[in-house]
Amino acid sequence: MREIETAFVGKMIAGVSHELMNVLAIIKERSGLIEDLLALDNTSFPYRDKLTKTLLTIREQVGRGMEISDRVNKFAHTMDESMVRLGIDELLDQLAFLMQRFARLKKVQLKVGPVEPSVLIDTDPFRLQMILAACLEYCLARTASQGVITLQCQHKGKEIAIQCVSEPNSSPKEDVHEFPNLQANLQQALDDLGLRLLPLSGKHQVGLELILPTSK
Amino acid sequence: MKKLKVLLVDDEEEFVSTLAERLELRNIETLVATDGVQALQIIQTDKPPVVVLDVMMPGIGGLDVLQQIKRKHPEIQIILLTGQGSSKDGIRGMRMGAFDYMIKPVNIQDLIKRMNEAINASKPEEH
Amino acid sequence: MIDRKGNPMANKSDFLSHSLFEDPLSFPGQEEPPPRYKSLRRNMIIIMILVTIIPLFMMALINHYQYQKALKREIIMPLRSIVNKTKHSFELFLTERLSAVSFIASAYSFKELADQETLNRIFLVMKQEFGGFVDLGLIDSSGLQVSYVGPYDLKGNIYKDHDWFHEVWVRGQHVSNVFVGYRKFPHFVIAVKSENLAGETWILRATIETQQFNHLIAAMDLDPSSDAFIINRAGIFQTSSKSYGNVLETFPMPIPPESLDANALEMVDSNGRDILMAYTHFTSPSFILMLVKPRSELWKSWYTLKGEIFFIFIASVIVIFLVVYKITDVLVKRIEESDRKRLMTYHEAEYTNKLASIGRLAAGVAHEINNPMAIINEKAGLMEDLIESIPHFERRDKFLELTQSIRQCVGRCSTITHRLLGFARRMEVEIREINLNEVIEEVYGFLEKEAFHRNIEVKLHLSRIKIPKISSDYGQLQQVFLNILNNAFQAVEDGGKIVIATWENDTGFVCASIEDNGAGMSEETRLHIFEPFFSTRKGYGTGLGLSITYGIVRKLGGRIEVQSKEGEGTKFTVLLPKKPKQATEV
């Protein structure tokens, strides 16, 4: 029953992103039409350049909006199925986008380390994202302004470790005490997905490591 | 009528510059800042009577800037711009001393109207 | 915020000050597999049984031994007592007879005793006064039987070399063992030495039949299963035993060790029976009085008691087993039940949390859209401003049309993200006391402009009588009525009429109805109207509005009813309880 409800929410959000996409497309068409009409017109009149520049900006912003819509759509679709094979590169990319806003508000830069596209895992994409988002939020809360947080992926034998680490000397204080809270909150999901969560220690650094088994 | 002077504060450059341009076309002197620190600096030097302030900004948030302006220059009127889901912030801002809040995207006519109301509110009675 | 040094501190935005993923019930729940309860049950049963049965068992054991000891004493004491008493009787008997003979031997002179007639008379009196005498005889110091009264012909016998003679001579008296005497009956002899002042000595000898012994034994008044008899130290029966032999036969079992006080032994007899033997040695003569009782007889009461203890023990054990099993069963079932409820609550909380997180994430991302939209809006506005200021511009109208259209699109996007944010907010439930009229008035406020522009008459018949406040979530109620009212607006033509009413019905529900005079719907449509993705308006929305609304109302513990007639209009009625139902349903 819960699965259905999650899928329902996913459909809702996907629906919204579709509508947004449609509207953006209309804006694109309209502004495109203005561009065309301007191009057709040979007469010279004031502000022609300005208008052209403005239209360009509009196009850029529409593109931006469309990208966001597209991402929201992808995110919504992760709620469709509870077992999917996906690439880590895609996953981390998506995650960075989801959390981008929160990072920006804290003036923290979010980077995604290079990931081979061939690294695949079988998992529940939505729940995994939730877990990673919680981890990223945890790191974000413990990283000072102007800091950098990197999402990266490492092979560890048969397993994969997704790491979320802040730069050295970017955390105002060392506290490993709150990690157990995070772990307890995520325990159910971690167990269901067969994952392990470990804290990474470093001088004035905060980091978390999520261990996943690779797909066979 | 004396020319209206306003400071616009928003981290989204394209937005704030375009809005400034449009206001200038309507004969309103517009100053622009893209973060709170810059805003406070400009207020120190130029003393605009009205400030249009975006609530959701990285670093020092809009509401903090609001507080600081009100503390140092209580006569300056502030109009807050909020996103769709942050109308709560708008209401909070008003309790903290903002003149009013408006939800983005704003209609420029409405904004100008509100700015005039703000200026009239703080102007002492002219004899 | 700025710290003391004037440096900007990390800003706590609303989103981050309350973690997206905090779990109010933070315990690492795992799906409890049934084996856990099996082993719990097993352990509980084992412990309870051990704790109850071990003491019971120990008590039974202790009682067993204590009782056994006590009973033994109880059984043995009387036996010993009887044996002692009988022994005293015997000794008294013998002492009396001895005294009698001794008295006669001393009271009369040798001459008198030697006289046959005198001896006869004495014997008659003796026999009269003391039962059991068979004969009487006088023997001089040389061992010659001088005179004799009795059934034998012993006058003239010489006993000089006899053992008894020597014994009497040395000891002064002698009680013999039993021997087969006159008429083949058992007898025994008492002989007493007497001495006069002149130094003459003589022996007076009397024979007594053991019939008296039997009388004494009979006087013990024993039960039929008891066997009392006397043996001498050599093991020869002095009286007949019921089971072991007759008089003068040999006692078939080993002689018990000397004990002048009554003693009791448990042993197996020569017939293989378990017996209890009480015995005592006489000081003189060297007799042993024995009393034999079969164990089974003796321990009858003990066996009964033992049987009873055993029976009670077994019955208790069975009862304990049953009770323990039953109680454990009930307890474990309760534990299982409460664990399941706890897990469900946990899952409920986790799930609610998850939805809330989704909501907030979605909302956060939706905000991102606002920025480009605001820019587009301004840019389009700028273009409008510029174009308007160009004199004699040929395509002026066309361009303005296009820029207006762009700005309209931006407005639409706002509506869409607004809906998404509303949806996200809905997933965070906050219960408080709400006046339904207020909600409806506010919702109407959202659509007031549209009503004005389209000339739709909206009548609010909100109960002036105070309708009770309901405990519910404001955001969700807003969603519900906004959705229904929106539908009504969609359904009516321009110039149509919508009536909203609120009241409290007689079952304590607070009700609100929204009635329009629009297109109405067919019965077919009406039946499916709340299904997800069922939409009659092609291209409008996602077809989820009413199904979501239905879901919300249900979750709040209420109902939605719909009445409609095609061509006439539709009436939606929402019924809400004063208190929301507890969300335990899955």
Each of the 216 residues of chain A gets a pLDDT tens digit; together they read: 456 667 777 777 887 888 888 889 889 988 888 888 888 877 777 788 888 899 999 999 999 999 988 888 888 888 777 788 888 888 898 888 888 888 888 888 999 988 777 788 888 888 888 889 888 888 888 888 888 999 999 888 888 889 998 887 777 665 556 787 788 778 888 888 889 998 887 777 888 899 888 765
Q: How far is CA B109 from CA B19, B23, B55, C385, in A?
A: 12, 10, 21, 12
Across the interface, whether the CB atoms of C586 and A185 are under 8 A apart is answered no
Considering only CB atoms, B84 lies closest to which of C13, C389, C418, namely C418
pLDDT at C7: 44
Amino acid at B23: L
Owner of token pair 């809006």: C377
Predicted local distance difference test score (pLDDT) of residue C350: 61
Angstrom distances, CA of residue B81 to CA of B55, C409, C414, C418: 6, 20, 14, 16
Parallel/antiparallel/unpaired status of strands A148-156 and A159-166: antiparallel
Interface contact flag, B61 C11, Cβ < 8 Å: yes
Q: What is the pLDDT of residue B54?
A: 92
Confidence class of residue C575 from pLDDT cuts 50, 70 and 90?
Answer: very high
Beta strands in B34-110 (DSSP E): 50-54, 77-82, 100-103
Q: What is chain C's length?
A: 586
| A147: Cβ contacts below 8 Å, ≥ 6 apart | A108, A109, A166, A167, A170, A171
E strand or H helix that includes residue C253: none
Q: Which tens digit of pLDDT belongs to each residue from C454-472?
A: 888 999 888 777 778 888 8
User: In C225-263, which positions are buried (b, 16+ CB within 10 angstroms) versus exposed (e)?
Assistant: ebbbbbbbeeebbbbbbeebbebeeebebeebeeeeebb
Q: Which residues of A touch C398 (CB under 8 A)?
A: 37
Say if the Cβ atoms of B56 and A57 lie within 8 Å.
Answer: no
What percent of chain C has a predicted confidence (pLDDT) above 70?
A: 84
Which tokens sit at A88? 């880590």
- Mean per-residue pLDDT for C341-359? 66
Q: Is B59 on the interface with A (CB under 8 A)?
A: yes
Question: In the Cβ-directed half-sphere of C117, how many Cα atoms lie within 13 Å?
Answer: 0
Task: Assess B125–C contact: CB distance below 8 Å, yes or no.
Answer: no
Residue B52 predicted with pLDDT over 90: yes
Confidence (pLDDT) at A141: 85
In this complex, which of A54, A61, A104 lies closest to B58 when CB atoms are compared?
A104
Inter-chain Cβ pairs, chain B and chain C, closer than 8 A: 70
**A105, closest residue in chain B (CA to CA):** B58
Q: Which residues of A touch C21 (CB under 8 A)?
A: 130, 133-134, 137, 185-186
Establish if B102 touches chain A: CB-CB under 8 angstroms: no
3-state secondary structure (DSSP) of residue C408: helix
| C-alpha to C-alpha distance for C536 and C555, rounded to whole angstroms | 25
Asked if C16's CB is within 8 angstroms of A106's CB, the reply is yes
Tokens matching residue C508: 């304590």
Residue A117 distance to chain C (closest CA, Å):
25
Using CA atoms, how far residue C54 sits from C48, C210, C322, in Å, is 10, 59, 16
Mutation to test the B interface, candidates C373, C375, C389, C423, most B Cβ within 10 Å: C375
Residue bearing the bigger pLDDT, C532 or C84 = C84
Cβ neighbours for C58, distance < 8 A, ≥ 6 positions apart? none
- Any idea of the CA torsion for C138, C144, C146, C150, to the nearest 10 degrees? 60
Residue of A68, A105, A110 to mutate, testing the B interface (most B Cβ within 10 Å of its Cβ): A105
Task: Give, in order, the Cα–Cα distances in Å from A13 to each of A19, A23, C424, C529.
Answer: 10, 16, 10, 21
**Residues whose CB is less than 8 angstroms from the CB of residue C14 and which lie 6 or more positions away in sequence, other chains included:** B89
Which are the contacts of C338, defined by CB distance < 8 A and separation ≥ 6?
none
Per the structure block, which two tokens stand in for A40? 């057709």
Question: Which pLDDT does position C501 carry in this prediction?
Answer: 92
Q: Do A16 and C410 touch (CB under 8 A)?
A: no
Nearest CA in chain C to A64: C372
> Does B14 sit within 8 Å of A105, measured CB to CB?
no
- Measure CA of the first residue to CA of the last residue in chain A; give whole Å: 29
> Mean pLDDT highest for which of C10-19, C114-123, C247-256?
C114-123
Q: What is the DSSP letter of C158?
A: B
Q: What sign results for the dihedral spanned by CA atoms B9, B12, B17, B19? A: negative
Distance of CA C212 to the CA centre of its chain: 67
Fold of A84-213: Heat Shock Protein 90 (3.30.565)
CA distance C48 to C52: 6
Which residues of A lie inside 8 Å of B (Cβ-Cβ)?
Answer: 54, 57, 61, 104-107, 145
ipTM of the complex: 0.81
Q: Which of C16, C382, C416 sits opposite A141 (nearest CB)?
A: C16
Distance from CA of A214 to the nearest CA of C (A): 23
Tell me if residue C302 falls in helix, strand or coil: helix
Residue A57: the pLDDT is 92
- Measured CA to CA, the distance from residue C109 to residue C93 in angstroms comes to 25
Residue from the list A54, A57, A106 with its beta carbon closest to the beta carbon of B58: A106
Closest residue of chain A to B56, computed from CA coordinates = A105
Q: Domain ranges for chain A, please list them.
A: 2-77, 84-213
Q: Please name the residue of chain A whose CA is at the shortest distance from the CA of residue C404.
A: A30
Rg (CA), chain B: 13
- Compute φ and ψ for A4, nearest 5 degrees: -60, -40
The pLDDT value recorded for residue C3 is 42
